[in-house]
Amino acid sequence: MMQILRRAEYAAVFLLVLWLYGQSGASWWWFVLLFLVPDLTMAGYAFGNRAGALVYNAGHSFLGVAALGLLMHLSGQNWLWPYVLIWAGHIAFDRMLGYGLKYASAFHDTHLGRIGLN
């Protein structure tokens, strides 16, 4: 039951991001083209599980999104807003599918459980 609730929460966040992105007036092509960019952090696994988890988690944590959003707000660089939303949308979508932050033990070990078993 908790698994369903957790996925529903992230689905709601994803839908909110989509709505906010639509309100931003930014091109949907940018959304489509940049949506999977955070997954490039999986390349960190080429240097082992520990490095991979560190790099992957840096690109898949809402803390990074919040930091970029704060930087955008404080600097008045509102052109960053679509990128903040795309990044947040990617993370919410991943979590909705059950992909969480990685442990150093293995790629499949996440804070949401083992991928494929949750």
Radius of gyration of the chain (CA): 15
Burial class (CB in 10 A: 0-12, 13-18, 19+), 84: buried
**Residue 87: C-alpha distances to residues 1, 14, 27, 62 (Å):** 28, 11, 15, 9
pLDDT value of residue 112: 81
pTM score, whole prediction = 0.93
Secondary structure class of 103 (helix, strand, coil): strand
**Res. 96: pLDDT tops 60:** yes
pLDDT value of residue 53: 96
**Res. 110: pLDDT tops 90:** no
pLDDT value of residue 117: 56
**pLDDT by residue (tens digit) across 19-72?**
999 999 999 999 999 999 999 999 999 999 999 999 999 999 999 999 999 999
